[in-house]
Structure 1
Amino acid sequence: MRRRRQESRWIHRWSRWLVAGIALIGALGTGYLTIAKLTGGGACPTEGCDRVLSSPWGTVFGQPLTLFGFLAYGTMLAMAVAPLFVNVDKNKALRQKLETWTWPLMFMLASAMLVFSGYLMTVLAFELQAVCPYCIGSALFALSMFVIILLGNRWDDLGQIAFIGLIVGIVTIVATLAVYAPINAAGSPNADVAGQAGPPITTASGPAEVALANHLKDIGATMYGAWWCPHCHDQKQLFGAEAAQAFNYVECAEDGQNPQPDLCRAKPEITGFPTWEINGEFYSGTQSLARLAELSGYSGPTNFQR
C-alpha cells in the first residue's frame, strides 16, 4: 500500500511537467510542418507524410491541418505550465484556482485530440493506406497526454469525468465528420474513375491559364506527377480547376486514377514530381506559368492570375 501511494504521489507531482514536455515536442513538430507547408518547402521525410498533408484530410477550412495541431499543442502547453509559474508561498489561492480550472480543460482538450487522432488513424489505414510517422507520433502523443492527465490528478468524481469525456468525444467526432463531409460528397470530374484522385483544385482559371493549358496540350507537353504529391497539387492550383483538366497529365502513382507507372519508370529523367516534358526536354519541380509559357513558346495572353 505504501509503495502504491508513493507512485501516486510521484505521478501527481510530475504529471503537468510530463504533459508540458509532450505538448512542447508536438508543438515544435506541427509548427515545423505548418511553416514548411505554407512556404512550399519540403516537409516530410517519407512518401506517406506527403500523402497525408496533400490529401483532402490535410486541409481544414483552407488551412493546413498541422496549424490546428500546433494550436492544440500550444494551448495544452500553456494550460499545463500556467499554475507551475505561480509561487505557491506568495499566492497559494491563485495557484489553486489555476489548478482547479485547468485540469478539466486539459482533460477535455486531450479527449478531443485523442478522438480526432483516432479518426485520422482510421483514414490513414483504410483511405490513404500510407505510413506517416508524424501522424502516428502525434496520435501517440495524444494518447500519452490523455493517460497522464487522467492518472495525474486526484479527481473528486470519476463518474463526472467519464461523462465529460463521453460528451467531448461525441461532439468531436460529429464535428470532424461534418468538416470532412465535403470530401466524400464533392463531385470531381473523375469521381467515377477508380483510384485515388488527390485533393480537389480549388482555384479558378482565367482565360490566360486556359489558353496556356491548351497550348501545352497542342504541342504535346506533358506533366508527370502523383496524386499524393503536394507540389503537383500546387502546380495544378496555379492553372486552376478548368485549365488543370486541359493539359496532358500522366499519373505515376500505381494507386492513382488512370495510372501509367511503367511509362514513368521508362523515363529516367523523371527523378521527382512534378516533372514537365516540353519539346523533348525535362523540367523538374513546380514551374511558374510564366516559365512554362517561355519554355513552350507560348505567345498568347500572359495576364496569369497567379
Structure 2
Amino acid sequence: MTTTRQRPEPVLHRWVRPLMGALATVGAIDTASISLERWGVISKLSCPGGGGGCDKVLTSPWGTVAGLPLSLFGFFAYGALVLLCLLPLIPAVQQWLANRAAAASSGLGARRSGRNPDLFWQLGFFISLAMAIFSLVLIWLMLFKIQAICAFCFLSAGLSISLLIFHYLGRDWPDLGQLIFRSVIGLLLVGLGSLSWAAAVDKPAILLEKGAPPVVVSVSNPAKEALAEFLNQSGAVMYSAYWCPHCHEQKELFGKDAAAKLNIVECAVDGKNSQAALCESKKIDGFPSWEINGKLDSGVKRLNQLADLSGFQGPRSF
C-alpha cells in the first residue's frame, strides 16, 4: 500500500489573511483620517513632502463624490476588506468554510456551490480589483490633471494594489482561465466607469444658466466657513469671472458652503450679476483678484495666506 505525501501549504497561504487584514486596516486608518480632516473633526494633516500637494488634491473637484469626501468611500471599501480578511480566522467561520468546501467536493455540492466555495476570498478579490483599478485612475488624475503630489493618496493606491496582488497569489486558483476572464471584465467595467466619472468631473463649466459660474463641489469644514465669514465681514472682496478656471479653483479651496459666504464680484461683462464697471474702476487685470484691507492682490491664494492677509484669528485647520 502506497501513501501519498500531502504537499505542505505555502507559508504565504497560511499568513496571507492576517497580512491583508493588517494592510486593509492601515488603509482604513489612512482614509478615515483624511475624511475626518476634511470635516474639520481633527486638525490639519501634515502632508509628507510638503508643498500643499495633499490639500490641492483632496480639495480638487475629484476629491468629493455627491458632496462627500472621496476618502470616505475608500474607508468603507477598506473596512469591508478588513472584515473579509479577518472573519475567516474565527473558528466558527473556518468550520463553515470547511463545510462549504466539503460540499463543493461532491458532485451535487459542486453544482450548487461552484468550484470556488470561499465567498470571503471571492468578494475580497473583486473589491481589491476595483480599488486597484480606481486607484490607478486617481494617480493619473493627480499627476496629469491636478499636477500635485499627495503622499496619502500614493499610500492608499499602494495598499489597494498590494491587496490585489495578495489575492492573486494567496491561494491556488482552480481555474486560471476563469480568473483572467473575470479580471479583464472587472478591468473594463471599473476602468470605463472610473474614466467616465473623471471626465464628467473635469467639466465643471457645464453651466446651469448662461453666465453662471461652475458649481463648487468640494466639502467645507468649520474653519473654512469661519474664514469666509470673517473675510466677508471685514470687507474683503474676491473679483472673479465665471469662465475663469483659477477662480473656480479658489472657490474649491473653500468648499461649497464656505464659498457661498464670500463676497464675490462678477467682472465678466456677460456674467450673471455682472459688475464690470466696478471691476474696471478698480483696474482689475487678473482673476481671481482679492481686495483685502484696501489692497489688491491677484492670483489664487492658499487659505492660510488669506488668513494672514486679513488678520484672521480663528482656527486654521483648513
TM class by shorter chain equals: 0.5 to 0.7
> Alpha carbons of 1:177 and 1:123: their partners in 2 closer, same or farther (altered >3 Å)?
same
Residues 88 and 94 of structure 2 are in contact (CA less than 8 Å); yes or no, is this contact kept in structure 1? no
> Alpha carbons of 1:83 and 1:177: their partners in 2 closer, same or farther (altered >3 Å)?
same
Moved beyond 6 Å, runs of 4+: none
Q: Deviations over 1:258-291 (max 9, x none)?
A: 589xx869xxxx99143375xxx6325689xxxx
Secondary structure of residue in 2 paired with 1:146: helix
Match of 1:19 in 2: 20
Matched, 1:147 2:179: no
Q: Which of 59, 62, 69 is residue 64 of structure 2 equivalent to?
A: 59
Q: Deviations over 1:33-84 (max 9, x none)?
A: 1122123654431311111110001001221000000001001111111211
The root-mean-square deviation of aligned C-alpha atoms, in Å, is 4.2
Instruction: Report percent identity of matched pairs.
Output: 29
> Alpha carbons of 1:166 and 1:36: their partners in 2 closer, same or farther (altered >3 Å)?
same
> Alpha carbons of 1:172 and 1:89: their partners in 2 closer, same or farther (altered >3 Å)?
closer
> Alpha carbons of 1:40 and 1:234: their partners in 2 closer, same or farther (altered >3 Å)?
farther
Q: Deviations over 1:117-171 (max 9, x none)?
A: 1001101111111111100011110111111111001100111111111111111
Match of 1:83 in 2: 88
Deviation at 1:89, TM superposition (A): 8.2
CA separation in 2, counterparts of 1:53 and 1:91? 42
> Alpha carbons of 1:110 and 1:89: their partners in 2 closer, same or farther (altered >3 Å)?
closer
Deviates more, 1:64-73 or 1:166-175: 166-175
Equivalent positions of 1:17-166 (< 5 A) are 17-39=18-40, 41-46=42-47, 47-87=52-92, 93-94=98-99, 96=101, 100-166=118-184
TM-score when normalising by structure 2: 0.64
AA in 2 matched with 1:62: G
CA separation in 1, counterparts of 2:260 and 2:127? 37
AA in 2 matched with 1:275: A
Equivalent positions of 1:144-223 (< 5 A) are 144-187=162-205, 200-201=215-216, 221-222=236-237
CA separation in 1, counterparts of 2:57 and 2:132? 18
AA in 2 matched with 1:35: L
Equivalent positions of 1:228-239 (< 5 A) are 232-233=254-255, 236-239=258-261
CA separation in 1, counterparts of 2:82 and 2:100? 16
> Alpha carbons of 1:158 and 1:91: their partners in 2 closer, same or farther (altered >3 Å)?
closer
Match of 2:10 in 1: 9
Secondary structure of residue in 1 paired with 2:304: coil
Residues 34 and 66 of structure 1 are in contact (CA less than 8 Å); yes or no, is this contact kept in structure 2? yes
The runs of 5 or more residues in structure 1 that have no matched partner are 190-198, 204-211, 250-255, 288-306
Matched, 1:275 2:307: yes
